[in-house]
Structure 1
């Protein structure tokens, strides 16, 4: 048979018995179309991600390729609306402008989190990418594994012909979607992925995104408005309102863009007006511009959760404070051990973030608001949420009571449970402080009032010790309002007394006098003479700080008389004597002040209160200085320093050393004065009081001793409360905190007032 070349049919050798007709179809196969420059447009006004952009570009740069440690996959993850796609697209554009991907760019949206689109399967994604690479439909296999093999082959061929490519897979929902998109080995392609899930698989470089900084959020608003109209400078003309608007948006890019869109649609609307509208709504999730919605963005993540994850997220949203420890998580769910797998699943979805330390968890403000909203909409979860909050309060009360007992423990008292020493109690309170303060504010809800008020009272000693006076005012105010609502005079009196102590600690003596006057009146109405003595003692301290020593002396003498008429409370009597000594010194009666402080010192020693004995020593030293008895003052200050060091009370140690330094200066011993100033600086540094440390160092460097300063009466101080006293009706455990003790009745006083006089001079 002869063979013929060309486009024709050869019928030789055929057996034909009649006429026939032959038909033929000819197909001309041209190259399939490609889509290798498929990047979306850059986001207008992109800003605030400079450091993250540098990280992406460093990974994508050619200099990062070729070695055994080459990073092929980079996963940008974060909360819905955090700006993942905008960052990835910006990085891709900059990389292409630098000529790093001559082979082109593939882009695919996998619709992992969409309302109106089904999530793209691996098979669908591979088909789309193969088409983009120019593969004809009839050559695309049906199975995912075969498509992946062809995809890798096509990428390798592209690398040989044109160079490396960038594949950008946006909105990934599952790790499985990424596995099939990995390029083969031996090529320098890069795969850039965005997802709400952390994707630690595939050897990926992980880049989690957080909310913008306040400055970046401000800039985003400004750029977005000026993009719509270059002459729109409302953001810069209304700086305060713009910063407030950014804060209401919680610095989330999606929320900021929606707010900017609403302003751009109405050029006449002031920024302050939109800020006022959002403030009145009290619901940042309500932000929308007709097409985009913050609530909808979060619902996309929420609907993917399992029932167990939904429950935990809702309960975490109810937790007090910006972060929760594992202990609090256990209390929320009523379990002995933490739900580690569920927490990690929520963390991978960026609905829960790891906190400032290991074992701590936090929610973005908008996620917290969303979670609370979901709890309200679900009656069963709402009921469980109420029980969870009660469990948290019970847990806080038990542990805070144990910590408070440890802080107030004196020789001869039973050993408190849970905490082996003061350091352990303080460490736990420091870790939980924000949550404890937030939980007290639940007192406005009737079902939590008794426990929250009790918790406020238990926190008083600690908050004073750490000098967190603002927190002390917050918890005392919440307790006072709850007690007033209960309508019982004794509970209300105790709450007013505690609030007065807190106000005094913050230096608001006039407000403290008003609060303590309320306390005294309510104790009188309740017929509680011992409580009235406590209020009078505290009132005396407030009057002294207000510069009214004669009134203070009258109040304190009345308090001492009541203490002796009642049960003979020697401990509070000692505190009243200390404050009386300070008032007498302020009134110029130095010898009487010395007698009062000496009596106070003896009573503290007799009751076993070593720490307050140190306070009395320091105040006695100030009275002795005022009387010109310098050497005796030096010995008294030395005793105070030694006692404070026993308790590692570094702030009061520093102040007593300041007093000792001045006493040595007055005695004409400058080298000992300088040594005390240096020791004071070290103590203040240990107490995290850098300003005081700097001033002490400056005093140490003075070449010659300053002229002896006139002796100054000690300041009674605020915020050194007694711990829980007798329980009062209505709110178990509520007791008035002695005003004078709350004011550190004390040594601290002397040092601080002297320093203040030095500053004034």
Structure 2
């Protein structure tokens, strides 16, 4: 892409190659200015090359054809190898006529466009690695003043500045120039300025220090504008809309929804944009082109969003596009969520044949889904964003993305309030309470679930009220308020029984059993978990049945019935593995190991602890994994 440092790399390479004697015949350099308003043509360039080779004035052939003949003859006759650098080409027509008619010499061409139709070796340049970006900024400051201690004093600010510059060498050089001029200010002040502007191009271009070593202007926006304005209308439209997409990476299907185009058409346009280094293909899923993902450089995204914001017609086009992609995300997130919650006898969700396919799609679109929920801050998108948030709770909890879970719940709460939707506001409080609880914040969870309960009661939704009572009971138990938790779960159970919802009643029994056990009422806990297990079996909720087996094992262990405990854990573990519930498997294996240790089977306990550590690792629970390994280390193998 523009500003990635193609010219600097080409010139540095040429200097090093010449220093090593690779090109005793010398080096020729022509700036073709391919992205200026008036690019250099091959006919103009050949005159400059002939002049550099000593052919000028009266020796210059009178016609263009003869000028090319003279140029090629001079190169063919030259015994010493030469290097020809054709810089900044936008069209093969600029350089094809300039290629030597012999392979004795070498040619290095720089361009923002990939000439895929030509048999030339292509070297794609990406932005710098983060550490290299920091090194560039640090060296740029030290080369001017070796006493400049700011990079050493503010390492985090240097790294953040490099991130804000998108690791693009041109942006980094401009930032370095600004810091040289502001030598009495700290680096953090520039970071804060860019963050406040929310567009690095605005700050950097406004404060650009001038030109680089090659006499070129150190400005970002014109570099991006020239690339954008050279695009055909369909590619320019897609780039603008892609700059509005949520998330750092976007799948082809979502881009198709954004642009209101079929995936096949979108892929062709995206490949054209990738050839111009304006988008980057990220990875394939199962090798299907329609399943590829695409990434924009941050500065390109900011530029494109600015183009849209500056034109009323483009703004409306962009809002409609965002509406389409939000509807797309909601439709398929709901289908994926339905698949995760599906029980035998219920309607089969569309698209996703099993849990694995649903999770794969959600994993791939996760960043976009979460960012799209954030659009609920805008009234136009509030309703759909709230519905989308409701579809993500089960998935984010399953994957243990607790920070995302809290962020989504808070965004949904704000969107529901903006939309004036009291029921969805209650749902959002409920989701927020669940998120806070799994994140280890039970006090806040109690408040959130209490807010949900008040709103459900006011709306007269007895079933929803039961949900809130059950979740409140879990939060109360986590906060050590066991008696209140028992009352809450009993209320939830009674409400579900009255509504005839046997599946939810089963979960209420299971939660009630946990609270009873914590209160020391072990016999009642065993009865509650047994009732839960039987109801979940009858409902066909295999995964819920596995949880009930695990909880029943805990109650049996508290009662001293250790053989029955091992049997219950074994059944629960089998179901966890069946569903790839690795956190549940880790919990069960940990408790199984505790049981083996109690009955004097240290080798079995050691093995179970290590298996628990592996399961926790797969579940993204490193703290629990470390604890399990420590327990294993205390036992003989």
Q: Relative to 1, partners in 2 of residues 1:130 and 1:430: Cα closer, same or farther, differing over 3 Å?
A: same
- Residue in structure 1 matched with residue 233 of structure 2 by the alignment: 307
Whether the 8 Å CA contact 2:430–2:452 is kept in 1: the answer is yes
Query: 1:409 and 1:488 mapped to 2: Cα distance?
Result: 27
Aligned counterpart for 1:112 among listed residues 34, 53, 59 = 34
TM-score (norm 1): 0.77
- Residue in structure 2 matched with residue 193 of structure 1 by the alignment: 109
Please list the CA deviations of residues 150-185 of structure 1 after superposition, one character each: whole Å capped at 9, or x if unmatched.
322212322x1xx21111111111122221222233
Q: CA deviation at 1:283?
A: 1.7
Query: 2:156 and 2:475 mapped to 1: Cα distance?
Result: 37
Aligned counterpart for 1:466 among listed residues 381, 399, 407 = 399
- Residue in structure 1 matched with residue 255 of structure 2 by the alignment: 329
Aligned counterpart for 1:410 among listed residues 338, 343, 348 = 343
Q: How does 1:291-370 map to 2 (within 5 A)?
A: 291=210, 292-336=218-262, 337-357=264-284, 359-370=292-303
Whether the 8 Å CA contact 2:127–2:169 is kept in 1: the answer is yes
**Bigger Cα displacement from structure 2, 479-488 vs 677-686:** 677-686
Whether the 8 Å CA contact 1:684–1:693 is kept in 2: the answer is yes
Q: CA deviation at 1:277?
A: 1.9
Whether the 8 Å CA contact 2:174–2:209 is kept in 1: the answer is no
Aligned counterpart for 2:43 among listed residues 115, 123, 129 = 123
Query: 2:63 and 2:363 mapped to 1: Cα distance?
Result: 58
Q: Does 1:179 align with 2:96?
A: yes
Q: CA deviation at 1:119?
A: 0.6
Q: Relative to 1, partners in 2 of residues 1:412 and 1:528: Cα closer, same or farther, differing over 3 Å?
A: closer
What's the Cα RMSD here? 2.3
Please list the CA deviations of residues 219-271 of structure 1 after superposition, one character each: whole Å capped at 9, or x if unmatched.
22222222222322222222222222222222222122112212212322222
Q: Does 1:656 align with 2:593?
A: no
Whether the 8 Å CA contact 1:615–1:640 is kept in 2: the answer is yes
Query: 2:535 and 2:35 mapped to 1: Cα distance?
Result: 70
Q: Relative to 1, partners in 2 of residues 1:154 and 1:694: Cα closer, same or farther, differing over 3 Å?
A: farther
Whether the 8 Å CA contact 1:329–1:338 is kept in 2: the answer is no
Whether the 8 Å CA contact 1:179–1:202 is kept in 2: the answer is no
* Bigger proportion of residues as helix: 2
- Residue in structure 1 matched with residue 215 of structure 2 by the alignment: none
Query: 1:185 and 1:483 mapped to 2: Cα distance?
Result: 70
Query: 1:677 and 1:316 mapped to 2: Cα distance?
Result: 48
Q: How does 1:574-653 map to 2 (within 5 A)?
A: 574-653=506-585
Please list the CA deviations of residues 297-322 of structure 1 after superposition, one character each: whole Å capped at 9, or x if unmatched.
21121111111111010111111111
Q: Does 1:559 align with 2:483?
A: no
Q: Relative to 1, partners in 2 of residues 1:564 and 1:413: Cα closer, same or farther, differing over 3 Å?
A: closer
Q: CA deviation at 1:688?
A: 6.2
Q: How does 1:77-92 map to 2 (within 5 A)?
A: 79-92=1-14
Query: 1:234 and 1:679 mapped to 2: Cα distance?
Result: 48
- Residue in structure 2 matched with residue 242 of structure 1 by the alignment: 158
Please list the CA deviations of residues 536-578 of structure 1 after superposition, one character each: whole Å capped at 9, or x if unmatched.
211111122122223322322333333344x133222222222
* Greater Rg over alpha carbons, structure: 1
Whether the 8 Å CA contact 1:512–1:542 is kept in 2: the answer is yes
Q: Relative to 1, partners in 2 of residues 1:532 and 1:142: Cα closer, same or farther, differing over 3 Å?
A: farther
**Which structure has more RCO (C-alpha within 8 Å, separation ≥ 6)?**
1
Query: 1:659 and 1:293 mapped to 2: Cα distance?
Result: 62
Q: Does 1:258 align with 2:174?
A: yes
Query: 1:197 and 1:144 mapped to 2: Cα distance?
Result: 27
Q: Relative to 1, partners in 2 of residues 1:627 and 1:146: Cα closer, same or farther, differing over 3 Å?
A: farther
Q: Does 1:430 align with 2:363?
A: yes
Please list the CA deviations of residues 672-718 of structure 1 after superposition, one character each: whole Å capped at 9, or x if unmatched.
4455445545545655667766765675666538xxxxxxxxxxxxx
Whether the 8 Å CA contact 1:503–1:511 is kept in 2: the answer is yes
Whether the 8 Å CA contact 1:497–1:516 is kept in 2: the answer is yes
Query: 1:380 and 1:266 mapped to 2: Cα distance?
Result: 40
Query: 2:163 and 2:611 mapped to 1: Cα distance?
Result: 43
Q: CA deviation at 1:637?
A: 0.5
- Residue in structure 1 matched with residue 478 of structure 2 by the alignment: 545
User: SS of the counterpart of 2:122?
Assistant: strand
Q: CA deviation at 1:417?
A: 1.7
Whether the 8 Å CA contact 2:382–2:419 is kept in 1: the answer is no
Whether the 8 Å CA contact 1:326–1:338 is kept in 2: the answer is no
Query: 1:564 and 1:692 mapped to 2: Cα distance?
Result: 37
Q: CA deviation at 1:485?
A: 2.2
Query: 2:490 and 2:531 mapped to 1: Cα distance?
Result: 14
Query: 1:143 and 1:595 mapped to 2: Cα distance?
Result: 101
TM-score (norm 2): 0.92
Whether the 8 Å CA contact 1:249–1:256 is kept in 2: the answer is yes
Query: 1:177 and 1:516 mapped to 2: Cα distance?
Result: 68
User: SS of the counterpart of 1:164?
Assistant: coil
Q: CA deviation at 1:108?
A: 0.9
Please list the CA deviations of residues 402-446 of structure 1 after superposition, one character each: whole Å capped at 9, or x if unmatched.
222221111222222212222222222222111111111111111
Q: Mind listing any 5+ residue stretches in structure 1 that lack a counterpart?
A: 1-78, 706-761
User: SS of the counterpart of 2:123?
Assistant: strand
Please list the CA deviations of residues 455-496 of structure 1 after superposition, one character each: whole Å capped at 9, or x if unmatched.
111121222222222222121111111112233432211110
- Residue in structure 2 matched with residue 448 of structure 1 by the alignment: 381
- Residue in structure 2 matched with residue 386 of structure 1 by the alignment: 319
Whether the 8 Å CA contact 2:603–2:635 is kept in 1: the answer is no
Q: Relative to 1, partners in 2 of residues 1:233 and 1:513: Cα closer, same or farther, differing over 3 Å?
A: same
User: SS of the counterpart of 1:208?
Assistant: coil
Please list the CA deviations of residues 720-753 of structure 1 after superposition, one character each: whole Å capped at 9, or x if unmatched.
xxxxxxxxxxxxxxxxxxxxxxxxxxxxxxxxxx
Query: 2:191 and 2:348 mapped to 1: Cα distance?
Result: 54
- Residue in structure 1 matched with residue 214 of structure 2 by the alignment: none
Query: 1:326 and 1:524 mapped to 2: Cα distance?
Result: 44
Query: 2:610 and 2:51 mapped to 1: Cα distance?
Result: 76
Query: 1:172 and 1:599 mapped to 2: Cα distance?
Result: 75
User: SS of the counterpart of 2:246?
Assistant: coil
Q: CA deviation at 1:655?
A: 2.8
User: SS of the counterpart of 2:136?
Assistant: helix
Q: CA deviation at 1:365?
A: 0.8
Q: CA deviation at 1:128?
A: 0.7
Query: 1:348 and 1:220 mapped to 2: Cα distance?
Result: 27
Whether the 8 Å CA contact 2:602–2:635 is kept in 1: the answer is no
Q: Relative to 1, partners in 2 of residues 1:388 and 1:143: Cα closer, same or farther, differing over 3 Å?
A: farther
**Bigger Cα displacement from structure 2, 128-137 vs 366-375:** 128-137
Q: Relative to 1, partners in 2 of residues 1:672 and 1:114: Cα closer, same or farther, differing over 3 Å?
A: same
